[in-house]
Amino acid sequence: MIAAAQLVTVILRLAAACEPGAAEPSALDVSLTVPVAGRPVFRLDDSVYGTAGMAQLVSGAEASDRRGPLPLLRRDTADALELAGTRAAVGAVTLRYRARSVAVADAGARHGLRHDATGVGGLGAFFLVLPGSRRIHRLRVEWGPPACGAGQGISSFGFDPGPAEATGRLDSLRMAAYFFGRPQRFTNDVDGTRVEAAWFGAPALDAAAASAAAARAFAAERSFFADDDPAPYRVFVRVLPEMDDRSNGMGQPGSLLLAIGPRTPLGPRLAVNIAHEMWHRWLGLQLRLAGPDGTRFWFTEGFTVYYASLVLLRAGLLSPDDFLGELNRIATRHFTNPRAAASNDEIRRGFFTDEALSTVPYTRGALYAAELDAAIRRASGGARSLDTLMRGLHRAARAAPVGAAGLRELPPSAFRRAVQRELGRAGVDRFDAVIERGAPPDPPADGCTACFARVARDAGFAWERVTGVPDDRCAAAPPG
């Protein structure tokens, strides 16, 4: 373990900027000071989370080091933007460039740099050009004076004025949101944790009520994993006209970036979407299974679909009838999907090019999670559940080695071993049949609670509410 005093500091300095003749910021001027050995090479993927065109938004790149100007060679490949130094660096290198934002009224990356009259901002993965490094650094994020407009700079690292500091790899900068402007801001303290929210744009819903609901959801999820990290969790919301009445989020280790439409209501779909993205703080970022890209979506996404609505139900944040609606939506999407029987390898190859195929790991993983939970409860006589398995894997992940993405990863066999401990070889065979080969999942007849009963439908099945069962019996959490 490297002592904090021994860590080299990386400084990311941002400032809001305007295009000529504009009154409001529509870009960020970026300055990155970082130690580099040899000839530096800075890189930004042109396609981020399936959205291409990031390279063309970066302009005016220049660099310097202890010797003075460090000439750069720009290479725009099919996959990435690369800025390569033409000589070896002397001391730390400072890279400067402008990252252009896209107006919310225009087509652009949903979570990339976007702007309107309330501010400019987005996720670092879409605009930060960084060198490759797996070293641990002290990270310092600063906001310089804006060239135009009024407001305050905030980020996943801090909402308070002044510099914010953290410790981590350079990828931590990519996995953070950065905004400048005049958002609606709310702070909620629930069960020992603070959730800060910033809303950009003009939502139709009650942003204060939505922020409070998000804080309660985060507290419920934090309790599930016994997370005692006292750091505030931060929520950034951007209103995009293209979203209409929908929502879509992207979770980071300490924050959530959410895109909603001007007509998005404060209802169960938004609540589940927020809970889903927050859940990735643990499943997907802290608890991961190693393997080729695209092979573990059944786990990181499918199990998150399963738990997002279930944890809300248990916490009293989702009614049994709304939970039933979520459950039936998942089943309908799966069993009416023409690619429902695709193998996990087919999903890996076509996830970003086939919309029907990209849905399968979400729905299949969720329905298999329900099946697995019922099987564990049955095999243990009610003493254990899927919760037991998930918490055990999460504890194990804390000591797992760091993978290529800069996050700790358990070996793929860890999940199989956990299933085998609970269900024996038959459980592993069933996992392979459903998840790897695409056999239909068989979730429990009670739909995870005593309130529902499964009924046949033309395409698969659905659940109905059982008459006479009170709501409080619907939300009981199993052992584990």
Could you give the CA distance from residue 258 to residue 248 in angstroms, rounded to a whole number? 6
pLDDT over 60 (residue 3): no
Calculate the average pLDDT of the chain. 94
Domains located in the chain, CATH noted: 1-173 (2.60.40.3650), 183-281 (1.10.390.10), 297-473 (1.10.390)
Residue 363 in this model has a pLDDT that exceeds 60? yes
Q: Which residues of 295-332 are buried (b: 16+ CB within 10 A; e: fewer)?
A: bbbbbbbbbbbbbbbbbbbbbebbebebbbbbbbbbbb
E strand or H helix that includes residue 102: strand 102-103
Mean pLDDT confidence for 390-408: 92
pTM, to two decimals: 0.94
Average pLDDT in the 272-291 region?
Answer: 97
Q: What is the amino acid identity at position 411?
A: P
Amino acid 31 reads: S
Token pair belonging to 108: 């652009």
pLDDT (0 to 100) of residue 472: 78
Q: Are 170 and 137 in contact (CB under 8 A)?
A: yes
**Cα separation values, 435 from 258, 284, 448, 459, Å:** 29, 17, 20, 20
**What's the full length of the chain, in residues?**
480
Both structure tokens of 78: 């099919």
State the CB neighbour count (10 A cutoff) for residue 77: 10
**Distance of alpha carbon 59 from alpha carbon 101, whole angstroms:** 12
Q: How confident is the model at residue 479 (pLDDT cuts 50, 70, 90)?
A: very low
- Check residue 1 and give its pLDDT: 43
